Amino acid sequence: MEHFSKYKIEKNDLKHLLSYESRDGFELIEKDDFESMLEYFVQYEIYANLIPILTDNNSNYWCLYVGGKLKGTVCHLSHDEVNLEPKFKNITKLINTIEKNPEAYDFSELDVQVFDYPKRENEIDLDNREEIITELLTEFEQVSENKEDLRQQLAFSVIALVKSKEIESYVYPLLDDEDMYIQERAIEIIGFHKYEPARNKLIELTKTAMSNGKSAAGKVLKELNKNKYSS
C-alpha cells in the first residue's frame, strides 16, 4: 500500500490501516482506484484535504482528512448524497468499529451509535474541538455564497461536532440559513440530540422553513412527542 506512504498519517493509524484485512463492504482501496479518486478530488474544493482509504466497491468511500482543520478524522463519501462531516476521530477508531460489527456490509448497516460524531452524549472525544468549531464557523462566514458546496460541508461538520448544550449557540443560527440542505441538517441534529427546548422553534419551522426543512421539523416534532410520552 505504498500509495499511502507520502501522506503524514499518524503512526498508529498507519499501522492499523496497513495491517487491516479487507472484507466485503470495507475493502482497502487499491492503487488504481486511489489515483483515480485523487484525480477526481482535485477538481473540487470540498475534497482538497481528503484521500480515500476504504471502499465498498460501489462508488462509496471512507476518506481520511490529511490536512485542514479536521486533519486525522475520517468521513464517509457517498455517491448518493455528499456529506463530509467527520464520523470517526481517526483511522484506528474506524477499523476497530468495522471489526466489532461483522454483520455490517456497508455504511448504512452501521448503527449511528457506533460513530464518534455526532454523539448523543455530551462527551465528544476530539482534541481542540471548540477551536475547530470556531475555525470552521469563521471560514463558513467568510466563504462566498456562490461556493454552495463548500458552505454546506463546513456547516455539516460544525453540526456534527456540537454537544447538546451547544445547540442554541451553534445550531440555531443555521436554522435560518438560506441553504435548504444546511437548514435541514440543522433540524435533523436537533432530533438526533432529542433537544426538547427547541420544540417551539421547530413548530415555527413547520410553517416558515423551506420544503425540506418543513418536513424535517415535522418529523423531529413527532419523535420528540413520542419520546415525551414514552418516558
What confidence category does residue 174 fall into, taking pLDDT thresholds of 50, 70 and 90?
Answer: very high
| Residue from 208, 131, 141 nearest 173 by CA | 141
Question: Cα–Cα distance between 9 and 195 in angstroms, integer?
Answer: 36
For the segment 69-91, what is each residue's pLDDT rounded down to a tens digit? Answer: 999 999 999 999 999 999 999 99
Q: Cell 437548514 identifies what position?
A: 183
The answer to whether 61 and 54 are in contact (CB under 8 A) is: yes
For the chain, percent of residues with pLDDT exceeding 70: 98
Question: Cα–Cα distance between 8 and 96 in angstroms, integer?
Answer: 21
Helices 148-161 + 180-192 axis angle, to 10: 10
The answer to whether 25 and 106 are in contact (CB under 8 A) is: yes
Supply the pLDDT for residue 229: 60
Residue 137: pLDDT over 90: yes
For the chain, percent of residues with pLDDT exceeding 90: 90
Supply the pLDDT for residue 189: 98
Give the chain as a 3 state SS string. Answer: CHHHCCCCCCHHHHHHHHHCCCECCEEECCHHHHHHHHHHHCCCHHHCCEEEEEECCCCCEEEEECCCCCCCCEEEECCCCCCCCEEECCHHHHHHHHHHCCCCCCHHHCCHHHCCCCCCCCCCCCCCHHHHHHHHHHHHHHCCCCCHHHHHHHHHHHHHHCCHHHHHHHHHHHHHCCCHHHHHHHHHHHHHCCCHHHHHHHHHHHHHCCHHHHHHHHHHHHHHHHHHHHC
CB atoms within 10 A of CB 169: 11
The average confidence (pLDDT) of the chain is 95
Q: Name all domains of the chain by residue range, CATH numbers in brackets.
A: 2-114 (3.40.1580), 129-230 (no CATH)
| Strand pairing report for 74-77 and 86-88 | antiparallel
Question: Cα–Cα distance between 109 and 224 in angstroms, integer?
Answer: 24
Contacts of 198 (CB under 8 A, 6+ apart): 167, 172, 190
Question: Cα–Cα distance between 140 and 144 in angstroms, integer?
Answer: 9
Supply the pLDDT for residue 216: 98
Angle at 28 between CA 24 and CA 29, to 5 degrees: 115
